[in-house]
Amino acid sequence: MTASASCGAGRSPDRPASQGAASLRAFVSQMAALPDSLPAASGSLGVVRFEDVSSYTIVQNAGSRDAFTLFATSIRYNLVSPDSSAVAEARNLGPARFASSADAYRWKMTGRLPLPDRRTTTGYQASRAGQFSFMPQGTTFTYGQAANMPVRPAAVIAVVRAHLRPYAGPHAPSELVLKQLGFLLATAPLSRKARKATWMTLAGLPGARLCGAGSDVLGRHGEGICASVAAEEIEVLVRPSTAQVLAVMQRLLRPTPLFPNMRAGTVVDSDNFAAVKS
């Protein structure tokens, strides 16, 4: 499958009321019991291939009264080798668009400054052995570390927090941990037992909850697992029938100067995963 998208980040529709921890445990237990949505790591490790359709915001003149925001979407094709070297092909999916009419007006008032070049061009990036990370924040989490992930939930979360410590300190918030777990479940070559343990780690994550049905920028539907801090929420969107992580999304819970003109409920960043295989 080749993913495509025509829209950037946007406002999330109204969601059903959040459900409690007991419901989350039942849900992740079901996901852990399903056949793997990814081929599990084995004695014969192969190249992991996955597509990431990334939808994100671009803030211009940040911190000023003239700040304005754009939405943009790109796709990245990743090939990751067992030595954690990688090759990625990336291209933009159309021009950036103003987040609102107010953003377009501010752009005009600033003299129509040149906007980011979003022509559909293809770029390539190569990572040397040991450089590719299956977690987006913290220290590098290599292919080998993923393939040898512990098989107990307490050990899984300890590994994730250890990698986050240089980035977020010893007490990384649950929403940041949830994001890393979402990426691991979406893309990493975990063993079958480690994958089950990673699912069950979600059940014990403080503040994590089921947050109802939703969809990603590719129009795929799933159930959300969410964790929040003061101003934002991370959601891991899961297809219940296959235990596939469809997307990891960042949503605003209240307006913030970091994202000018964005309303509560706006998805400001999302990674939407497709064609994951090894």
Reading the chain (278 residues) residue by residue, the pLDDT tens digits are 444 443 445 444 445 545 566 699 999 999 999 876 555 554 457 899 999 999 887 787 676 777 788 888 899 999 999 999 999 999 888 778 877 777 787 778 777 777 766 566 678 889 999 999 999 999 999 999 999 999 999 999 999 999 999 999 888 999 999 999 999 999 999 999 999 999 999 999 999 999 999 999 899 999 999 999 888 899 999 999 999 999 999 998 888 777 877 788 889 899 999 866 65
Whole-prediction pTM = 0.85
In whole angstroms, give the CA distance from residue 214 to residue 251: 13
